[in-house]
Copies of this chain bind each other. A is one copy, B any other.
């Protein structure tokens, strides 16, 4: 991104205040640092429950991560910038209300959900937990905005997985349908394939309703799978390091493949490997126009429900494995691939063509992974 495309945090006299919900997580931590670095006033809201899932399942980030308190202290020591910390559960409305009343955010970027599809499918209690945590948490955020910060712009993280794999092109949030001689633009039909993905579908419906009913301003980012580890800010000190998940529950395909290649294990492709996933580098999640220029500096209008599909490239799992194999070869690694039975309920080969034109139109010049293999 060129500098001119980036918005200033100081367009008015005082810096914009951004609440990063889920700011101790993979996307949220990098976002909080990046926004703080750019001059925004940042508060993190997180109940740290993600660290508990890791303990309970015996998983860990590949990169050691320190406590959120240490992270924020280290950031202050290095840059002089303060990130406020509200440790608590957004399903607890009293806690969330206090955070809204004391911080008074101009924008809330909401990453604070249970975000693993496999986790949501482990058993009944985790399925129910996932839907309760995500749906009720988001409802509370909507009510907090309505009660305490009516002008606050909600930037909500959705997922490309909300759409499933229809046999027609995937549009951005809405589709114009002509039927029996009449036409209307309606929400794009959703066919999610895990209790986690379904929780995002429920969120989208709830948010769209509150935009219409209460005039909430919201941007729903249907994000592709994020890859990559370092950003300018997280690379500044080991105590600022981001988490890196490579396990079967929280590790996404590309991160998992890279670790497998590095340690000499075969890449594990589920079933036929024809499943398509859309990907985006962590740096783009931060630097791209949505979260900063667009989603925060140019918020949705009151009552507007904007939907963006946020990814830069789409690959089949087999293609991703080939890219990692080629990249490994350059480093002198002999990377093998093996197929393992697919634990998911999904078609292993299907039509897939998702639009993300709004992102391109707005001037994003992505750094593409497909360059890697050439």
User: Which one, B169, B180, B208, contacts A182 given CB within 8 A?
Assistant: B169
Quick check: which of A53-61, A189-197, A287-295 contacts chain B, the rest being far away?
A189-197
Q: How far is the CA of A190 from the CA of B351 in the complex (A)?
A: 24
User: Which one, B124, B136, B139, B183, contacts A143 given CB within 8 A?
Assistant: B124
Q: How far is the CA of A167 from the CA of B213 in the complex (A)?
A: 19
Residues of B within 8 A of A198 (CB): 202, 205-206, 209
Residues of B within 8 A of A180 (CB): 168-169
> For the complex, is A234 an interface residue (Cβ under 8 Å from B)?
no
In contact, A131 and B135 (Cβ under 8 angstroms): yes
Q: What's the nearest-Cβ distance from chain B to residue A219, in Å? A: 19
Known: A193-B213, A206-B198. A139 touches B135 (CB 8 A): no
Residues of B within 8 A of A232 (CB): none
In contact, A351 and B182 (Cβ under 8 angstroms): yes
> For the complex, is A187 an interface residue (Cβ under 8 Å from B)?
yes
Q: What's the nearest-Cβ distance from chain B to residue A215, in Å? A: 11
In contact, A131 and B139 (Cβ under 8 angstroms): yes
In contact, A187 and B191 (Cβ under 8 angstroms): yes
> For the complex, is A184 an interface residue (Cβ under 8 Å from B)?
yes
Closest to A344 in B: B213
In contact, A212 and B345 (Cβ under 8 angstroms): yes
Binary contact readout A190-230 vs B (1 if CB under 8 angstroms, 0 otherwise): 11111100100110011011001100000000000000000
Residues of B within 8 A of A86 (CB): none
In which size bucket is the chain A interface?
35 or more
Q: What's the nearest-Cβ distance from chain B to residue A92, in Å? A: 11
Residues in A94-123 with C-beta less than 8 Å from chain B: none
Residues of B within 8 A of A147 (CB): 124
Binary contact readout A279-303 vs B (1 if CB under 8 angstroms, 0 otherwise): 0000000000000000000000000
Q: How far is the CA of A179 from the CA of B177 in the complex (A)?
A: 8
User: Which one, B140, B168, B183, B206, contacts A183 given CB within 8 A?
Assistant: B168
In contact, B128 and A140 (Cβ under 8 angstroms): yes
> For the complex, is A166 an interface residue (Cβ under 8 Å from B)?
yes
Q: What's the nearest-Cβ distance from chain B to residue A184, in Å? A: 4
In contact, A190 and B175 (Cβ under 8 angstroms): no
A residues adjacent to B (C-beta < 8 A):
93, 124, 127-128, 131-132, 135-136, 139-140, 143, 147, 166-169, 175, 177-180, 182-184, 186-195, 198, 201-202, 205-206, 208-209, 212-213, 345, 351
Known: A127-B139, A212-B345. 18 other contacts (CB 8 A): A124-B147, A128-B136, A128-B139, A131-B135, A131-B206, A135-B202, A139-B195, A167-B183, A168-B177, A169-B182, A175-B179, A177-B177, A188-B189, A189-B189, A195-B206, A198-B202, A201-B205, A202-B205
